[in-house]
Chains A and B, each alone.
Chain A
Amino acid sequence: MYSCEQAARLSSKAMEQPLAPKERILLGMHLMMCKGCTGFAQQIEFLRRASRKIPEVLEKDAD
């Protein structure tokens, strides 16, 4: 079983490269039972969406 720390690390790694099948399954099992880690995974995805909008925000301010 993964700990929350392992699950959180893998959620972050999954944003960079596909996980190994075993990692994917163990992470999925952990997320199914853990609200905190599910929130973490969604929130770092949100932070990526937000970060990608930064150039747009800077553009609004500059023009």
Chain B
Amino acid sequence: MAEQDDQAQALQAHRAYLLRYAQFQLRDAALAEDAVQDTLIAALAQPGRFEGRSQLRTWLTGILKHKIVDLGRSRSRGASAHAAGEGEDGDSALGAFNAQGKWVEAPADWGMPDAALESSQFWRVYQECCQRLSERDALVFSTREVMGLSSEEICKKFGISTTNLHVILFRARLSLRSCMSENWFKTNHE
């Protein structure tokens, strides 16, 4: 019993991080809470997996990723049922190109963008730009780029074709790029 308490306490130490992680991907406090809850329950069901602190976090995050995808996928499926035709699988390039396939507004020079990664203001803008994506595009993008699942895994989990995945990622990258350009790189900040 005491051992179980220790384990529960060890898990608790990672709760704040897991919650932020889930909330970032799911954009919904209650759903994030569910994902973390499911993760901690799954972890407690496998005693003997509690090692060093950093390993524990990595292991928990690995479980959480799958919970996020499962919960997020079923929610966005419900949401897109009535938003169907919004080009869910359509090949829209968001009006970024004209009929001849030329940029309506050519991407501006970002200079040396990596310096921005040190700025907390940059991350706020990044999160805001992610929130402009549709729920499903955001989740697919994040599953690929933030959580780092392979293209193959994502297609299987979301039940989409490779072509489909490429369309979604292209649309998300276009939108995020233009939003970051507008709200960060073209703006002056210290």
- The answer to whether A and B come from one shared complex is yes
A residues sitting closer than 8 Å to B (CB atoms) are 3-6, 8-9, 12-13, 15-17, 35-37, 39-40, 42-44, 46-55, 57-59, 61-63
Known: A4-B102, A5-B93, A39-B110. A63 touches B146 (CB 8 A): no
Known: A43-B107, A52-B145. A8 touches B174 (CB 8 A): yes
Residue of A with least CB distance to B61:
A55
A3 touches B107 (CB 8 A): no
Kindly state the separation between the CA atoms of A20 and B50 in the bound complex, as whole angstroms.
Answer: 45
Residue of A with least CB distance to B110:
A43
A-B contact list, 30 entries, CB within 8 Å? A3-B100, A4-B97, A4-B101, A5-B93, A5-B101, A8-B93, A12-B173, A13-B166, A13-B170, A16-B166, A16-B169, A17-B151, A36-B103, A36-B107, A39-B106, A39-B107, A39-B109, A43-B107, A43-B110, A43-B177, A43-B181, A46-B110, A46-B114, A49-B114, A50-B117, A51-B145, A58-B21, A62-B17, A62-B20, A63-B17
Chain A residues with CB under 8 Å of B101's CB are: 3-6
B15 to chain A, nearest CB (A): 9
Interface size on B, residues (CB 8 A): 42
Chain A residues with CB under 8 Å of B97's CB are: 3-5, 8
B170 touches A40 (CB 8 A): no
A46 touches B151 (CB 8 A): no
B17 to chain A, nearest CB (A): 4
> Pick the contact of B173 from A37, A44, A63 — CB < 8 Å?
A44
Kindly state the separation between the CA atoms of A22 and B141 in the bound complex, as whole angstroms.
Answer: 27
B126 touches A50 (CB 8 A): yes
B24 touches A40 (CB 8 A): no
Residue of B with least CB distance to A46:
B113
Chain A residues with CB under 8 Å of B20's CB are: 58, 61-62
B108 at the interface (CB under 8 A from A): yes
Chain A residues with CB under 8 Å of B59's CB are: none
Kindly state the separation between the CA atoms of A47 and B97 in the bound complex, as whole angstroms.
Answer: 20
B102 touches A40 (CB 8 A): no
Chain A residues with CB under 8 Å of B151's CB are: 16-17
A43 touches B113 (CB 8 A): yes
Kindly state the separation between the CA atoms of A37 and B174 in the bound complex, as whole angstroms.
Answer: 12
